[in-house]
Amino acid sequence: MLIFGGYGQVGEAMVATAAAAGRDPSSVVQLGRQQADIADPEAVQRVLAELQPRVAVNCAVFQPVDRCESEPEAAFAVNAVAVGALAQACRKAGVRLVHLSTDYVFGCALRRPYREDDLPAPQNVYAASKLAGEHLVLAASEMHMVVRTSGVYGKAREGHGTTPFIERMLERARAGQQTRVVADQVISPTNAHDLARGIWDLIGCGGTGTFHLANRGEVSWFELAVVVFEAVGARQLLRPTTAAEYGAAAKRPAYTALENARLCRLGLEDLPPWRDGLARHFAAYHPDLAPSA
């Protein structure tokens, strides 16, 4: 297996969970942006020819979400055009591509967890670029797979990837900083290791097309932050706010919880509830925190 954007939180989690999934971790090759920029078709073709993987996982992404609003061309260049070229290169090389996408492809239509066959309605440039990437992946080959997930937290390699919301909240709570978090946006926060285990399962059973993989249940960003601040004993520092008041550059959907409907229909094990995922994240990376999560 070859992982593009391999040193981010999901890429690292794929390696960390390989043995538990019955795979040899040494058969997983991680490539950072410096070794293979997915926006460089020659680099992509070269690594596919050299390494001859059976499966490629694309974790490379142009983000954060707000930056995409001011750099739409760059967002579409990586999240759509480069992803489409990667999907075509994989098809030509006989490699199955697993591409990561996002709950943000959905709009504000529903108040129950979105299933794979619900209609996307992107609300910002990031979401639109990711949805375009999904279409290009699925158009390239019936063998490819798109995995949508939500609010991922894990541990990227030092110097790579993004710092997840949970870790940013922990830093603020520990530093004693007053913090406002939006209470009118609901997601399904997902432990990167649980996500990775789901990806291994889907690869193992030959899944194709679009799948949702998120920890079960739903929570607002504010309620999620409450769990973190309470664990540090700093609940008094946290205040709820609204998306309108917060005024982020990118408009975000009010509700994007996901249901892993197709995973369950295949008879595969559903992902654990989000509180369980968060408790294991704390136990693994912050064992000093109270186990109340």
Residues with catalytic function: 126
- Residue 61 binding ligand NAP, by CB under 6 A: yes
- Residue 8 binding ligand NAP, by CB under 6 A: yes
Query: How many angstroms separate the CA atoms of 87 and 134, rounded?
Result: 10
Nearer to ligand NAP, 8 or 253 (CB): 8
Nearer to ligand NAP, 130 or 262 (CB): 130
Q: What number of other Cβ atoms are within 10 A of residue 54's Cβ?
A: 11
Of the candidate residues 160, 235, 251, 280, the single one contacting ligand NAP (CB under 6 A): 160
For residue 176, the minimal CB distance to ligand NAP (Å) is: 26
Residues shown for the chain: 293
Nearer to ligand NAP, 88 or 149 (CB): 149
The region of 98-106, 136-144, 255-263, 282-290 touching ligand NAP under the rule CB under 6 A is 98-106
Nearer to ligand NAP, 101 or 141 (CB): 101
Query: How many angstroms separate the CA atoms of 42 and 36, rounded?
Result: 9
CA distances from 137 to 36, 45, 145 (A): 18, 16, 8
Tokens of 287: 């064992």
Helix (H) or strand (E) holding 57: strand 55-58
Helix (H) or strand (E) holding 149: strand 145-149
CB 153, CB 170: distance < 8 Å? no
Helices (H), the chain: 9-16, 41-51, 65-70, 72-76, 83-93, 125-140, 165-174, 192-204, 221-232, 243-246, 261-265, 274-285
- Residue 151 binding ligand NAP, by CB under 6 A: yes
Residues 131-150 that bind ligand NAP (CB under 6 A): 149-150
Nearer to ligand NAP, 122 or 151 (CB): 151
Strand 190-191, strand 152-153: pairing: parallel
- Residue 68 binding ligand NAP, by CB under 6 A: no
For residue 195, the minimal CB distance to ligand NAP (Å) is: 8
Q: For the window 21-50, what string marks contact with ligand NAP as x by the rule CB under 6 A?
A: -----------xx---xxx-----------
For residue 65, the minimal CB distance to ligand NAP (Å) is: 9
Of the candidate residues 1, 16, 56, 59, the single one contacting ligand NAP (CB under 6 A): 59
For residue 149, the minimal CB distance to ligand NAP (Å) is: 5
For residue 255, the minimal CB distance to ligand NAP (Å) is: 15
Query: How many angstroms separate the CA atoms of 26 and 143, rounded?
Result: 24
- Residue 191 binding ligand NAP, by CB under 6 A: no
Query: How many angstroms separate the CA atoms of 88 and 140, rounded?
Result: 5
Residues that bind ligand NAP (CB under 6 A): 4-5, 7-10, 32-33, 37-39, 59-62, 78, 100, 102-103, 130, 149-152, 156, 160-162
